[in-house]
Amino acid sequence: MYRAQISALVFGVGGFGALVAATASNEWKVTTRASSVITATWVYQGLWMNCAGYIQACRGLMIAAVSLGFFGSIIALFGMKCTKVGGSEQAKAKIACLAGVVFILSGLCSMTGCSLYANKITTEFFDPLFVDQKYELGAALFIGWSGASLCIIGGVIFCFSISDNNKTPRMGYAYNGPTSVMSSRTKYPGGGDIKTTNPSKQFDKNAYV
């Protein structure tokens, strides 16, 4: 249980760091411009160098992914069983599940933003009618995809970690039936009852004489 949550936190925080690096990077797409036969110039572009419509959408998705990753990391600290904050075990389980959902949403936002950007680049690259400068996929896209995968994996582990809390052992109680006391009384038709005794336990004083 503890190892699973620690692993989930490592995945989530690592993915959050990768998302921050990808969002701030300028290597979302790259191309070369050959100035001569010997030298060539590498040209990079990121999310903050253009204001095209699809770039703004990708920028918003990445900002949302980074924000969700940050809040997911904070929430996860309160939901882990190895910390002393967050309340009871049931409350910690709910907080851990919430952190998992937030990490999954963060990964999905990043995955969508990077995929949308990559789809635009590949569409322009293989379009024979596109006459402007063509670009290739940059390193920031792969970092973003990796960070998204880590966040989703960490979120899934957090969500499944609450299953151990539901497996509470049930207390067993031995059932003893009602004890019945049999009375050694013999009922007669007259309404009375005469207590019978065991002859073996009845002794007369003449027996000792």
pTM check: above 0.75: no
- Residue in this structure with the two tokens 């003893």, named with its chain if needed: 176
pLDDT range class, residue 93, cuts 50, 70, 90: confident
Nearest to 100 by CA among 145, 172, 151, 65: 151
Nearest to 4 by CA among 85, 106, 82: 82
Regarding predicted confidence, which is higher, 16 or 204? 16
SS3 of residue 111 by DSSP? helix
SS3 of residue 133 by DSSP? coil
Residues 148-176 have a mean pLDDT of 71
Residue 195, CA distances (Å) to 45, 186, 199, 204 in order: 108, 6, 12, 18
User: Percent of the chain, pLDDT > 70?
Assistant: 71
Residues 38-45 have a mean pLDDT of 70
Nearest to 60 by CA among 109, 25, 16: 109
Regarding predicted confidence, which is higher, 84 or 59? 59
